[in-house]
Amino acid sequence: MRYIKYTIMSVCLLLPVFTLYYKANVLDLSLIPVKASNVWNIELSTKTKNIQNRNAVKDMAMALPVPKSSSSQVINELKVIHNSVLTEMVSEPYDPFVLFQPEEEALVKFEVTTRNFNYFTAENFDKSAKDEGDPKYLSLTGIDENTFEKLKQLSDAIVYDTDTNLAKLKKIFFYIADEVVLQPSDNDIIDVIELSSGDHLAQAHTLSALARLNGIPSRVGFGVKILNSDEQKEFETKFRRFFFVESFVDGKWLPLVPDERLFGVVDAKHILISEDSDAYAAFLDERDFVSIKVRPVQFDPMTSKEQLKHLGDVSPVWSLFSLHRFSLPIQAIFLGIVLIPFGTVFLSLFRVVIGIETFGIFMPILLTLFFLETSFVFGFSFLFLVVLLGFSQRALLDRFHLLAVPRLSILLGIVILLYIILAVFADSMGLLAVSGKTLNYFPIVIITIFIERFSIYFIEEGAVNTLKTTVGTFVVSTACYYLLSYKWLKVFLFNNPEVLLLAIGLNLALGSYKGYRLLELFRFKDFGKSLPSKVEK
Amino acid sequence: MISYKNLKNQSVLGNNSRLRNYILPHNKRKAYPLVDDKIKTSELLTSKNIPHPKTIGIISYISDMKTLHKKLETLRTFVIKPARGATGNGILIVHDVRWSPNKKETYIVTTRKEDMRFDEFIYYLSMILSGAFSLSGHKDRVLIQEKLSIHPFFDPISYKGIPDVRVIVFKGFPVMAMVRLPTESSGGRGNLHQGALGCGIDLKTGKINHAVLDNNHVLRHPDYPEVELTGLVIPHWDEVLKVSSMCSELMDIQYLGVDIVLDPDLGPLVLEMNARPGLSIQLANQKGLAKPLEDVLVQCQKITNIDEKINYSKDNF
């Protein structure tokens, strides 16, 4: 029997190690989701003028001119967070696209996740080809006659003796890139034409206008550039706004960034916010301010579909066990429960090695789930109230001489009332909204089991022991809560569910532990010491 | 705090070892209800002629209580116990009853401050039946037993309640023993963690050799400081050991705690048995359980007779 146990234990402990080694070194898969440094979250925050009700906010989100494509990064996901308070607004101080008016009312926060995208893929090409026919990319309206004349003269000087559109565009591009000086105070096309100096936007507009004049569809877009470490030191920020021109030549859109001398190629450091700044400006007109915040994405941005396909290519066998095959709601459930077996290892450790007493066996784990389901502050304060209720109910209900079942039922009624009161309170304090958690039946089920256990324990063991056990239960469930909120570990186990065998192996080992519990060292602290010489009272 | 090594050297039995080495392998789960249910225990003891408090009656259903007034009419003292109550919960000791043909004028004198009306008494019994005191709230039965009197030996050293002797028996060998003396702070209860006094007993002589109160060594009972405890000899000691040993042969529970009360006339009576006896007995004796238990595992192969087992224990533990 003993050998069987040790065999199972070794299999449980060694198999996960072997599979992880195999995946990492033979299949060359990433085990821990890599921190994708070239993938970014962009948060756009905007406050809308004259907003009447909150519900309209959601529709507005759709009106945001999100980029359909970019040279480097493409929008992966657009999320709207209602009524969030902006804690931090990061941007360049001179950015004309950002105005700071941080009032909370009708503030909308968009979270945009981008991922890598190749500018020249066929997919992008098709989409761009459609835009090309749009006459607005050839229009020069908005430029006065005087400016138009001077623009024409400049154009003639630049593109003379050139026949193809591509060659013309190159000449225009390098004129702007090489001859025009960066001067933030000059913000008009005319400055660029006459003085050969202008800010980024004016340069981009001039480039676009010159291209349009020569029959090349063009548009000015803007985006955010992630700076390298040297630039970060220089500008004291991690990213800055950049303007660029897209021109349609030979059946494809080419990205042009004159101040960086990038012609037709943009690397992954450039994130496009809008490919058409005119449309974006129109969007801005309806809003008080827009601020942009960029931060790196924490986790592997691969979607489950891609993940599964990649796994299937590398190893068809492993892809069979992948939890990515499930729909997102089911995945969310697995993501939630995948750490529970390790929570039980924690629990066993606390009980067997340390010697902390808890209500029932899985009560602490259930309470942990309760905390996770609501929020720690809410869950803990609710539970605290329930414990107070548990202690005080005896004094009151004992006098009424009630039978056990109706008595417990009354307790449950009070618990649900408490839950309602606390939920209303938490909602009005904004506690629930901030944590983004919702309430459902699940916590009530857990508390029901808790209050029953608690009452029985109280009757059988008395107040002091109940208090001790309550504290023990809280300690264990709090510790488990912090373990189970460890996001990376969760994602790691989700990607490698066979590691759960490790939890079984560890529990087998803990179950075989025969040594003393830590708290027994205190219980028997005076053991064997000489008998008292002093006589007590 | 004491070190792991020191504990081991003194052969202290820890909770994990108690469970893994003794309770799990030697106590059959199936036999637990026999000791957890006082009515079943009482029936078992009766069938093997082991002395225990006499059963006056059993109440299984609410309907049994209709005739209760008539049945109990002749009695003045008795004890009410929930059959599956744990750690003495729900036990009601009746000192006297002022019977009257009219139920409304019948009063019951208990350990409580105020006398109980008969309808209150009936309510109390129905509480027991509905499972208010039973483990995990299951339906329960009421056991009515004769009230025990306290042996005069305990008069000067025990506060209220009934002192009992706890003997740990393993495979028929008495391994360790203590006497539990209720105190004022324990409210007359016999559990050490509730504040009762635990006194270790020398197995050979039945002499009290140590006393522990709340984990501290003491020499005297806090409520009766005039008597020195060490050296007092428990009466009927040999019978106590014999009865305990017999209990461990009743069922498939070989690591057993036997609680014995001493009656002035009847001698040792088995009050109840425990399949998961605690570890405080080591504190009361200032002696570890691990070594004697390991010794028993060797000796039980050679010694099969109860008297020889007791003699071996007396000489060696």
Q: Which of A46-60, A402-416, B21-35 has the highest mean pLDDT?
A: B21-35
Dihedrals φ, ψ of A374, to 5°?
Answer: -95, -100
Task: Output the pLDDT for position A322.
Answer: 80
Q: How confident is the model at residue A77 (pLDDT cuts 50, 70, 90)?
A: low
**Is A533 an interface residue toward B (CB < 8 Å)?**
no
Percent of chain A with pLDDT over 90: 9
| Interchain contact, B16 vs A517, CB within 8 Å | yes
Lowest mean pLDDT among A59-68, A326-335, A474-483, B164-173: A59-68
Lowest mean pLDDT among A2-11, A422-431, A465-474: A422-431
**Is A512 an interface residue toward B (CB < 8 Å)?**
yes
What's the rounded Cα separation, in Å, for the pair B270 and B284? 21
**Is A403 an interface residue toward B (CB < 8 Å)?**
yes
Same domain, residue pair B61 and B44: no
**How many cross-chain Cβ pairs, A to B, lie less than 8 Å apart?**
101
* Alpha-carbon distance A42 to nearest alpha carbon in chain B (angstroms): 54
Dihedrals φ, ψ of A100, to 5°?
Answer: -95, 110
| Interchain contact, A465 vs B193, CB within 8 Å | yes
**What value does the mean pLDDT take over residues A244-265?**
83
Number of H helices, E strands in chain B: 11, 15
Q: How confident is the model at residue A33 (pLDDT cuts 50, 70, 90)?
A: low
Query: Residue B25: which of B171, B233, B181, B217 has the closest Cα?
Result: B171
The structure tokens listed for B79 are 């004890």
Q: Which residues of A touch B215 (CB under 8 A)?
A: 523, 525-526
Q: How confident is the model at residue B168 (pLDDT cuts 50, 70, 90)?
A: very high
Chain A interface test: which of B16, B114, B293 (most A C-beta within 10 Å): B16
Query: Residue A90: which of A80, A100, A81 has the closest Cα?
Result: A100
| ∠ Cα A514 B259 B191 (to 5°) | 70
**Is A535 an interface residue toward B (CB < 8 Å)?**
yes
Count of CB atoms within 10 A of residue A434's CB?
13
* Alpha-carbon distance B310 to nearest alpha carbon in chain A (angstroms): 26
pLDDT at A306 over 60: yes
CATH of residue B289's domain is: 3.30.470.20
Strands A181-182 and A197-198 come out as: parallel
* Residue B303, amino acid: I
Looking at every residue in chain B, the average pLDDT score rounds to 86
Tell me the three state secondary structure of residue A360.
Answer: coil
**Is A508 an interface residue toward B (CB < 8 Å)?**
no
Domain that holds residue B294: 4-52+150-316
> Contact, A536 vs B222, CB < 8 A?
yes
Percent of chain A with pLDDT over 70: 68
Buried b (16+ CB within 10 A) or exposed e, A62-94: eebbbbebbbbbbbbeeebeeebebeeeebbee
The structure tokens listed for B267 are 């001698």
**Looking at per-residue confidence, does B220 or A41 come out higher?**
B220
Same domain, residue pair B286 and B233: yes
- Find where tokens 């039995």 sit: B13
Task: Output the pLDDT for position A280.
Answer: 63
Same domain, residue pair B202 and B257: yes
Model confidence pLDDT, tens digit, residues A527-536: 876 555 444 4
What's the rounded Cα separation, in Å, for the pair B40 and A197? 103
Q: How confident is the model at residue A106 (pLDDT cuts 50, 70, 90)?
A: very low
| Interchain contact, A514 vs B20, CB within 8 Å | yes
Q: Which residues of A touch B86 (CB under 8 A)?
A: 460
pTM of the model: 0.64
Task: Output the pLDDT for position A289.
Answer: 57
**Span between the terminal Cα atoms of chain B, in Å:** 26
Same domain, residue pair B82 and B204: no
pLDDT at B125 over 80: yes
**Looking at per-residue confidence, does A529 or B170 come out higher?**
B170
Same domain, residue pair B95 and B161: no
What's the rounded Cα separation, in Å, for the pair A369 and A443? 8
> Contact, A525 vs B1, CB < 8 A?
yes
Tell me the three state secondary structure of residue B134.
Answer: strand
* Residue A121, amino acid: T
> Contact, B254 vs B293, CB < 8 A?
no
**C-alpha B284: how far from its chain's center?**
16
Same domain, residue pair B163 and B273: yes
**Looking at per-residue confidence, does B93 or B193 come out higher?**
B93
**What value does the mean pLDDT take over residues B86-97?**
78
The structure tokens listed for A205 are 């507009």
The structure tokens listed for A194 are 């006459």
| Interchain contact, A536 vs B210, CB within 8 Å | no
Q: Which residues of B touch A521 (CB under 8 A)?
A: 1-4, 7
Same domain, residue pair B128 and B141: yes
- Residue count (chain A): 537
Lowest mean pLDDT among A160-174, A192-206, A371-385, B3-17: A371-385
What domains sit in chain A, N to C, each tagged with a CATH number?
40-116 (no CATH), 122-286 (3.10.620.30), 340-485 (no CATH)
Q: Which of B12, B86, B222 sits opposite A527 (nearest CB)?
A: B12
Q: How confident is the model at residue A85 (pLDDT cuts 50, 70, 90)?
A: very low
Q: Which of B1, B12, B137 sits opposite A404 (nearest CB)?
A: B137
| Interchain contact, A521 vs B215, CB within 8 Å | no
**Looking at per-residue confidence, does A86 or B164 come out higher?**
B164
Burial class of residue A234 (count of CB atoms within 10 Å of its CB; 0-12, 13-18, 19+): exposed
Q: Which of B121, B145, B169 is the last residue of a domain?
A: B145
Q: Which of A385-389, B42-46, B120-124, B128-132 has the highest mean pLDDT?
A: B42-46
Burial class of residue A59 (count of CB atoms within 10 Å of its CB; 0-12, 13-18, 19+): exposed
* Residue A219, amino acid: R
Looking at every residue in chain A, the average pLDDT score rounds to 74
Lowest mean pLDDT among A229-233, A285-289, A427-431, B246-250: A285-289
**What value does the mean pLDDT take over residues A374-383?**
82
Q: Which of B113, B145, B177 is the last residue of a domain?
A: B145
Task: Output the pLDDT for position A118.
Answer: 47
What is the C-alpha R_g of chain B? 20
**What value does the mean pLDDT take over residues A254-280?**
76
* Residue A410, amino acid: I
Strand partners for B134: B85
> Contact, A453 vs A388, CB < 8 A?
no
pLDDT at A383 over 90: no
| Interchain contact, B282 vs A527, CB within 8 Å | yes
Convert A284-307 into a string of H (helix), E (strand) and C (coil).
Answer: HHCEEEEEEEEEECCCCCCCHHHH
| Interchain contact, B283 vs A537, CB within 8 Å | no
Q: Which of B4, B131, B225 sits opposite A537 (nearest CB)?
A: B225
**What value does the mean pLDDT take over residues A61-80?**
46
Lowest mean pLDDT among A41-50, B44-53, B109-118: A41-50
Task: Output the pLDDT for position B179.
Answer: 92
Same domain, residue pair B45 and B62: no
| Interchain contact, A516 vs B137, CB within 8 Å | no
Q: How confident is the model at residue A507 (pLDDT cuts 50, 70, 90)?
A: very high
pLDDT at A334 over 80: yes
What's the rounded Cα separation, in Å, for the pair B257 and B253? 10
**Is A1 an interface residue toward B (CB < 8 Å)?**
no
> Contact, B169 vs B109, CB < 8 A?
no
> Contact, B122 vs B103, CB < 8 A?
no
Q: Which of A459, A512, A524 sits opposite B12 (nearest CB)?
A: A524
| Interchain contact, A526 vs B89, CB within 8 Å | no
Distances (CA, A) of A376 to A240, A438, B156: 38, 13, 55
Same domain, residue pair B154 and B22: yes
Q: Which of B119, B145, B171 is the last residue of a domain?
A: B145
**What value does the mean pLDDT take over residues A5-10?**
90
What's the rounded Cα separation, in Å, for the pair A267 and A72? 6
**What value does the mean pLDDT take over residues A355-374?**
84
Tell me the three state secondary structure of residue A59.
Answer: helix
What's the rounded Cα separation, in Å, for the pair B161 and B68? 26
* Alpha-carbon distance B281 to nearest alpha carbon in chain A (angstroms): 11
Percent of chain B with pLDDT over 70: 98
Q: Which residues of A touch B293 (CB under 8 A)?
A: none
| Interchain contact, A459 vs B194, CB within 8 Å | no
**Is A518 an interface residue toward B (CB < 8 Å)?**
no
DSSP B227-293: EE-TT-B-TTHHHHHHHHHHHTTSSSB-EEEEEEEEETTTEEEEEEEESS--SHHHHHHT--SHHHH
> Contact, B256 vs B168, CB < 8 A?
yes
DSSP B136-150: GG----EEEEPPPPP
Distances (CA, A) of A336 to A297, A340, A431, A466: 21, 8, 21, 30
What's the rounded Cα separation, in Å, for the pair B94 and B106? 13
Model confidence pLDDT, tens digit, residues B150-166: 888 888 888 777 888 99
Count of domains observed in chain B: 2
**Looking at per-residue confidence, does A38 or A519 come out higher?**
A519
Distances (CA, A) of A407 to A186, A398, A453, B141: 81, 9, 14, 20
pLDDT at A387 over 90: no
Count of CB atoms within 10 A of residue A249's CB?
20
ipTM of predicted complex: 0.79
Count of CB atoms within 10 A of residue A19's CB?
18
What's the rounded Cα separation, in Å, for the pair A209 and B252? 98
Q: Where are the beta strands (DSSP E) in A181-306?
A: 181-182, 197-198, 218-226, 239-249, 252-257, 262-263, 270-274, 287-296
Same domain, residue pair B28 and B106: no
- Find where tokens 């349009």 sit: A212
Same domain, residue pair B224 and B244: yes
Task: Output the pLDDT for position A132.
Answer: 57
What's the rounded Cα separation, in Å, for the pair B204 and A500? 54
Count of CB atoms within 10 A of residue A151's CB?
21
Burial class of residue B244 (count of CB atoms within 10 Å of its CB; 0-12, 13-18, 19+): buried
Q: Which of B8, B132, B193 sits opposite A459 (nearest CB)?
A: B132
Would residue B171 be called left, alpha or beta, if left means φ above 0 and alpha means ψ between -120 and 50 degrees?
left
Task: Output the pLDDT for position A86.
Answer: 35
Same domain, residue pair B20 and B124: no
**Looking at per-residue confidence, does A400 or A436 come out higher?**
A400
What's the rounded Cα separation, in Å, for the pair A86 and A64? 19
Q: Which of A93-102, A109-118, A391-400, B227-236 has the highest mean pLDDT?
A: B227-236
**What value does the mean pLDDT take over residues B197-205?**
90
Q: Which residues of A touch B286 (CB under 8 A)?
A: 527-528
